[in-house]
Structure 1
């Protein structure tokens, strides 16, 4: 299994260099095509605007959106056209988040920039949290500091739940391409360590069946999970962390777990996330 179609989500409000670099790396490594996606919608006019003046404001904003989307298309093509087997551009005057979710059906893998804010303005950028929970495709969430997809050392953040099993399976092409793979699991209680050691041994054996050699790490002392995970990633100088995306829906809002939120917003490393 390889990634044949990579989709990259471009934001209108910040640089997209890191996402485009990572999307280009994936395309080059796996011989994939790349689809660039961006969207933005007109905001409601000010409450005191009406008639011809209101229409003028709407027309000006629509023109600005078209101009920005055209600029993003040019940026996208410059960055990936020579690295992908083919490229395609999709854009619309629409809310970025819902539009991106619609386009996800065409992708094997989605590349999106990390967003640190609690509430993302879906009029100008897709929310990685929404994509994680609703797109039905694995994501590579890219911090703004990333310059490439560093597969020299990859960390699998293991937890014996469906989401982690799905993530490891979806990440098989990346794991096969990685130079070193480490599976780390953080026991919730000291008494759980023997069971966790057996779990990661099973995962390592399963990966060996796919031609991937992986080492395992299970801390002897239980501490804060995020702190332990960051330490495990730092110890091996991981370029990518692979993890299941955990969360649930509360009314119409997606609530991510602490670890998932950390990987999608605060990590200095690329995060491959799937559910």
Structure 2
């Protein structure tokens, strides 16, 4: 079960959708929610910067802390309104990426918003945290409005190590689901990773953990990310689980990438691990 959940706190209006997901999971798992807001710079980094450029009124480090505390106050107000029973506000004197990576070491799950061009969010944050962090990342779309997450889950399975880690990280959710669809897209292209019957071994592994699982195999010319989105929509899934960057980063960039497609377009929360 998830007992400590970190939620990224910032000025973006998408923070409420993150907190809705956190509230749902906290209630289901009796978890403690930590709202983490970063100043944007560590104090040593700020001193170096302040020594090299003029620092005007309102741009001192205390102002950065005050701004972060304002975001935390909004987090606390929203957490109370959503009925989160156990939560705390945490000021992180660092940039968002480094600060959240450190905080996530001591949690079970890290929740961020889906990647977007919103000027109030840090671009590329969820994929950075999934790639460099030790904990799974739940990326929440801005339209999320407390729909069930754990009832109906699609798991992208390609035999890769990141996919294995994502499945292991998602087990507390998978065990509670009414149905889990283990989705394979063009499995014949990864014959060395699947065995004689693609999906059968992982399905058996999940079944032994008490997961109600069925294997869905799709052959398509569409990008894998788009295929997974199609399977999730058709199934009415409330959550996608997948490995982050199952292939090399260069291949992900050149081919468009499953991770990037899901991070930018998924209509439901996506749990990533690397």
TM-score by length of 1: 0.82
Name the SS of the counterpart of 2:201 in structure 1.
helix
Equivalenced residues, count: 262
Using the alignment, how far apart are the partners of 1:77 and 1:57 within structure 2? 25
The equivalences for 1:111-190 within 5 A come to 111-117=111-117, 127-148=125-146, 149-187=148-186, 189=188
Tell me which residue corresponds to 1:58: 59
Using the alignment, how far apart are the partners of 1:222 and 1:68 within structure 2? 48
Structure 1 residue ranges (4+ consecutive) displaced by more than 4 angstroms after TM superposition: 42-45, 81-85, 119-122, 188-193, 247-250, 254-257
Query: Is contact 2:115–2:123 with CA below 8 Å preserved after alignment?
Result: no
Query: Is contact 1:188–1:222 with CA below 8 Å preserved after alignment?
Result: no
Using the alignment, how far apart are the partners of 2:190 and 2:56 within structure 1? 67
Q: Residue deviations 1:116-157, cap 9 Å, x none? A: 24x9888x6781111011111001100101112532311001
Using the alignment, how far apart are the partners of 2:221 and 2:125 within structure 1? 32
The equivalences for 1:1-275 within 5 A come to 2-41=1-40, 50=54, 54-59=55-60, 62-63=62-63, 65-81=64-80, 83-84=83-84, 86-117=86-117, 127-148=125-146, 149-187=148-186, 189=188, 198-246=197-245, 258-275=257-274
Using the alignment, how far apart are the partners of 1:191 and 1:39 within structure 2? 41
Using the alignment, how far apart are the partners of 2:268 and 2:178 within structure 1? 16
Q: Residue deviations 1:214-243, cap 9 Å, x none? A: 111112445431222121111101111000
Structure 2 gap segments, 5+ residues each? none
- RMSD of the TM alignment (CA)? 3.3
TM-score by length of 2: 0.83
Query: Is contact 2:5–2:111 with CA below 8 Å preserved after alignment?
Result: yes
